[in-house]
């Protein structure tokens, strides 16, 4: 049996912008914070910053709620492509040095977590981990290599990389089923996690009434064109309400589809694109919305994933309108804890939005019940316990 002192040291290796970043950042940092609150010593090593590194994460050595964050790359921002690649290589080498130091320091007993998804990079880090007998875990929050299902790299990842992990934890039931085909080692369902206290704010209506969406503006995974179409269908009935689309839209080419849809709208002046909003400012925007919307289509990303933003929506206790995709209805019930529409159907989504807006008492009760679902199932504190027990039982 491994002693608590050894189990309580957790080491994560990743890339990206921490503690301020995207949805994957929010998810990972939430359960790391939960582990800290359980008395664990948690260190996150970052091999390279995200390509759109938040200025609020521009620290080589920092801390978030007790999580120690350390960059291994020599420089955070490198504009020259050649030196950027060289910087990344140095980051990997220094990361490997830290990895070896961690394994030797704890005599291969401390669990290692590899959060990055590049199969070659994973393979490089797995080599010393397996050679020295340490336990290693991996996370997936969506299907791997979407759109490249026949690629050799996917085959390598599934048949050579995944079986080498001592445990894999995933965000949805669909991913549990998927990865069971490729490994006999334990797989944990760790659903979306959210830091509920970030959304415990006093609400105000200084912006007036608005429906809010936050997330990607560049792909169809969240169905923004359908959301705009649904808003068009109810806009005349509610002339005082706006639609806020919250997320980075700086890439003109990638934003073209959404921009075209907005320009076609007869109420385009009421569709507000906020651009990138930092993590610390997001709760205020979501908490003061009249309704929070997520119009995900029935695509492969929705089937395998579980949007972190939904947990953040529910944490506000505001009414949420979503589509029936993925694991949504395994936790939420229509007209009880969310308003749930058919996917790929703007008319039905508009009807649910209208039902939410026209019946304030129902909307209030749905919002409160949605918060209870988040408290029960998506609370980072509870899921940290689940993850810690999973690791303990695997060691």
CA atoms of 348 and 367, how far apart (whole Å): 20
CA atoms of 327 and 323, how far apart (whole Å): 11
- Evaluate whether 4-193+379-394 and 196-378 have a shared fold: yes
Residue linked to tokens 């959404």: 258
Helix residue ranges, H only, 13-80 = 23-37
Q: Length of the chain, please?
A: 395
pLDDT at residue 3 in the model = 45
Among 368, 390, 386, smallest CA distance to 377 is for 386
Residue linked to tokens 């914070």: 33
pLDDT at residue 52 in the model = 64
pLDDT at residue 99 in the model = 97
Grouping H, G, I as helix, E, B as strand and the rest as coil, residue 244 is strand
pLDDT at residue 300 in the model = 86
Candidates 3.40.50.2000, 3.30.1490.20, 3.40.50.2300, 3.20.20.70; correct CATH number of 196-378?
3.40.50.2000
Please check whether residue 250 is in contact with residue 276, taking contact to mean a CB–CB distance below 8 angstroms: yes
pTM for this one?
A: 0.92
The answer to whether the peptide bond before residue 395 is cis (omega within 30 degrees of 0) is no
Contacts 24+ apart (CB under 8 A), 247-254: 247/213, 247/214, 247/215, 247/216, 247/217, 247/274, 247/275, 247/276, 247/277, 248/52, 248/217, 248/275, 248/276, 249/217, 249/273, 249/275, 249/276, 250/275, 250/276, 251/218, 254/217, 254/218
Q: DSSP letters of 183-222?
A: -SS-EEE----B-GGGG------TT-EEEEEES-SSSSTT
160-191 burial, b if ≥16 CB within 10 A, otherwise e? ebbebbbbbbbbbbbbbebbeebbebebbebb
Structure tokens at 156: 């390598």
The helix (H) or strand (E) run that includes residue 320 is strand 320-323
Among 163, 97, 171, smallest CA distance to 141 is for 171
The helix (H) or strand (E) run that includes residue 64 is strand 61-64
CA atoms of 205 and 184, how far apart (whole Å): 53
Helix residue ranges, H only, 299-343 = 300-304, 308-315, 328-331
All residue ranges of the chain with pLDDT < 50 are 1-5
Phi, psi of 376 (to 5 degrees): -80, -40
> Would you call 206 exposed, middle or buried from its count of C-beta atoms within 10 A (0-12, 13-18, 19+)?
exposed
pLDDT at residue 59 in the model = 67
- Angle of helix 256-264 relative to helix 224-234, nearest 10 degrees, comes to 10
pLDDT at residue 154 in the model = 93
Residue-range domain boundaries for the chain: 4-193+379-394, 196-378
Please check whether residue 113 is in contact with residue 126, taking contact to mean a CB–CB distance below 8 angstroms: no
- Please name the CATH architecture into which domain 4-193+379-394 falls: 3-Layer(aba) Sandwich (3.40)
Grouping H, G, I as helix, E, B as strand and the rest as coil, residue 262 is helix
């Amino acid at each position: 049996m491994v002693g608590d002192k050894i189990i309580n040291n957790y080491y994560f290796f990743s890339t990206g912008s921490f503690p301020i970043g995207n949805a994957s950042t929010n998810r990972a940092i939430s359960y790391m914070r939960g582990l800290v609150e359980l008395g664990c010593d948690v260190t996150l090593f970052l091999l390279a910053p995200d390509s759109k590194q938040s200025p609020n994460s521009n620290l080589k050595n920092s801390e978030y709620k007790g999580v120690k964050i350390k960059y291994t790359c020599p420089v955070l921002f490198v504009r020259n492509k050649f030196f950027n690649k060289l910087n990344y290589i140095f980051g990997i080498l220094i990361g490997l040095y830290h990895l070896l130091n961690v394994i030797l320091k704890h005599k291969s007993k401390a669990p290692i977590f590899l959060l990055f998804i590049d199969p070659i990079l994973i393979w490089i880090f797995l080599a010393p981990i397996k050679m020295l007998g340490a336990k290693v875990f991996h996370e997936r929050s969506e299907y791997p290599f979407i759109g490249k299902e026949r690629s050799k790299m996917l085959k390598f990842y599934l048949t050579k990389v995944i079986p080498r992990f001592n445990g894999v934890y995933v965000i949805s039931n669909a991913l549990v089923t998927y990865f069971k085909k490729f490994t006999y080692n334990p797989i944990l369902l760790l659903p979306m996690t959210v830091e509920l206290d970030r959304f415990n704010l006093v609400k105000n209506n200084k912006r007036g009434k608005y429906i809010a969406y936050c997330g990607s503006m560049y792909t169809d995974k969240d169905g923004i064109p359908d959301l705009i179409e649904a808003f068009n269908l109810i806009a005349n009935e509610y002339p005082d309400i706006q639609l806020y689309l919250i997320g980075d839209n700086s890439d003109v080419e990638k934003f073209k589809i959404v921009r075209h849809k907005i320009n076609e709208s007869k109420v385009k002046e009421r569709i507000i694109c906020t651009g990138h909003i930092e993590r610390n400012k997001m709760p205020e925007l979501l908490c003061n919305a009249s309704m929070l919307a997520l119009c995900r289509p029935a695509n492969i990303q929705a089937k395998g994933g579980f949007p972190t933003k939904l947990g953040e929506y529910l944490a506000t206790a505001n009414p949420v309108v979503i589509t029936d995709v993925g694991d949504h209805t395994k936790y939420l019930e229509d007209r009880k804890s969310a308003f749930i529409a058919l996917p790929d159907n703007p008319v039905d989504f508009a009807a649910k939005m209208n039902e939410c807006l026209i019946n304030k008492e129902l909307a209030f009760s749905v919002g409160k019940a949605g918060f209870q679902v988040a408290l029960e199932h998506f609370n980072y504190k509870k899921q940290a316990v689940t993850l810690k027990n999973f690791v303990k039982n695997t060691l």
